[in-house]
Amino acid sequence: MMTTNSPGHPPSLSLLAVHLRIALRNIVRHQRRSLLTIAAVAVSVFCLIVFQALLAGLHQKMVESALGLDTGVVQLHGADFSRNRTRLAPLPNPEIIAPAFKAAGLTRFAPRLKAPALILAGRHSSSVQLSGIEPEQEAQVTLVRQKMVQGNYQLGPGQILVSQGLADALGLKTGDSMTLMVQSLFGQAKTGKFTVAGLFATGLDSFDQSHVYLSLATAQTLLEAEGAITEVAASCPPAEADELATRLRRQLPAGRFQVQVWQELAPDLAQLMELNNATFRMLIFILFAIVAMGIANTMTTVIFERFREFGTLTALGATPKNIVSLVLTESLLLGLFAALAGTLAGIAATAYCARYGIDLAHFTSANQYFVAGSVLKAVVTPHDLILANGITLATAVAAGLYPAWKAAQLNPVKALAHV
């Protein structure tokens, strides 16, 4: 007895399999045209993957550099802290802070005591930002230790770190003495004499000219702020900043502290990254609009060449949906091959760029976004690969929709008469 589905049932898997076979064989049959289309789309996929990986690498470098100078990824201040205020604002209950950071999962953090200061060296002087740091903890958050060019990073009592640029400007060298003038916690002018223990050079002149470091204990003594700190900076993967900041807030008494993440601390960086992403998305949109036109053009040619075939299938009882399925299968298959080729080439190129990188030193001037190094390395993630392939396949299907609809709307009599 004959077994059939009732009319109007969705196409069976077997029918889809035959459509796949027809599509595949037609792609092979028209090798040159198929290869050209696949190559064009594959180049776009390749560009998407490589650009995305380079952009991710660029953002990683920017974040690493900009936040690694001083800011960190998460910062803790007192509730009444304001960046515009010059008065020292020590954190309340400093003894609960370290346990709170650890409990929140922030293991790399550095307590600081910051205050404005004036350097006096012979006939020279310069206003700077003084940071009292725990050198070992600070090195887990910022890049200063990596940027030492002379002397010792480990600060002892009576020692100070200044930048190479500032030392040159003040006529100082390692081992020389200079005087720091500050306003103490109680508002009194205080001075201290310090020996230059080491010189650093981040490459960012504006930063180098305005930052000096004492050990935390030395700074606390100078500022008459025994046991006080004004901020704690922590380092963690930027993507985890919000979650870790939330956990940290839960560990601290409400209303006495403020916890800020890097987007609040460095809004210009976050905005620049958003701008980069928006520009990239526009570029990809244009690229894939061109891809879509390429596929649509190929599929329109396919339809034109196979008018009679579609007319025949219609005569056999293929519904408009069956015809759409057949055309879209071919379009999707072209996209699939292109995605595969583009992805393989993209992975190879990004693997190379991830290993050897691209040195941007010759293309950019020194700026805060390349302090950590000028070699841009690609960062490719499974998410980006899936996204690139998803966009390609969606574009292939979208590009095939109009030709598929046209094929489904063909007048079968005219299609059968087509020569």
Q: Which positions lie near other proteins, rule CB under 8 A?
A: 2-9, 12, 14-15, 18, 21-22, 25-26, 29, 308-309, 311-322, 411-413, 416
Q: How many CA atoms lie within 13 A of 105 on its CB side?
A: 12
Q: Single out the residue of 71, 37, 7 nearest to residue 368, CA to CA.
A: 71
Question: CB burial class (10 A; 0-12, 13-18, 19+) of residue 395?
Answer: buried
257-261/74-78 β-pairing? antiparallel
Distance CA 301, CA 311 (A): 16
Closest approach, Cβ 21 to other proteins, in A, equals 7
Q: Element (H or E) spanning 192, and its range?
A: strand 189-200
Closest approach, Cβ 294 to other proteins, in A, equals 23
Closest approach, Cβ 399 to other proteins, in A, equals 22
Q: Quick one: 256 or 321, whose CB is closer to other proteins? A: 321
Distance CA 343, CA 38 (A): 12
Closest approach, Cβ 319 to other proteins, in A, equals 4
Q: Quick one: 10 or 227, whose CB is closer to other proteins? A: 10
Q: Which residue has the tokens 């002379």?
A: 150
124-133/211-215 β-pairing? parallel
Q: Quick one: 6 or 84, whose CB is closer to other proteins? A: 6
Closest approach, Cβ 13 to other proteins, in A, equals 10
Q: Quick one: 7 or 187, whose CB is closer to other proteins? A: 7
Closest approach, Cβ 326 to other proteins, in A, equals 10
Q: Quick one: 282 or 315, whose CB is closer to other proteins? A: 315
Cβ atoms of residues 81 and 89 within 8 Å: yes
Distance CA 348, CA 355 (A): 11
Q: State the sign of the Cα–Cα–Cα–Cα dihedral 165, 166, 170, 175.
A: negative
Q: Quick one: 115 or 318, whose CB is closer to other proteins? A: 318
3-state helix, strand, coil in the chain (%, to 5): 55, 20, 25
Q: Quick one: 116 or 412, whose CB is closer to other proteins? A: 412
Distance CA 348, CA 342 (A): 10
Q: Quick one: 145 or 308, whose CB is closer to other proteins? A: 308
Q: Is 36 helix (H, G, I), strand (E, B) or coil?
A: helix
Closest approach, Cβ 415 to other proteins, in A, equals 9
Closest approach, Cβ 405 to other proteins, in A, equals 12
Q: Is 2 helix (H, G, I), strand (E, B) or coil?
A: coil
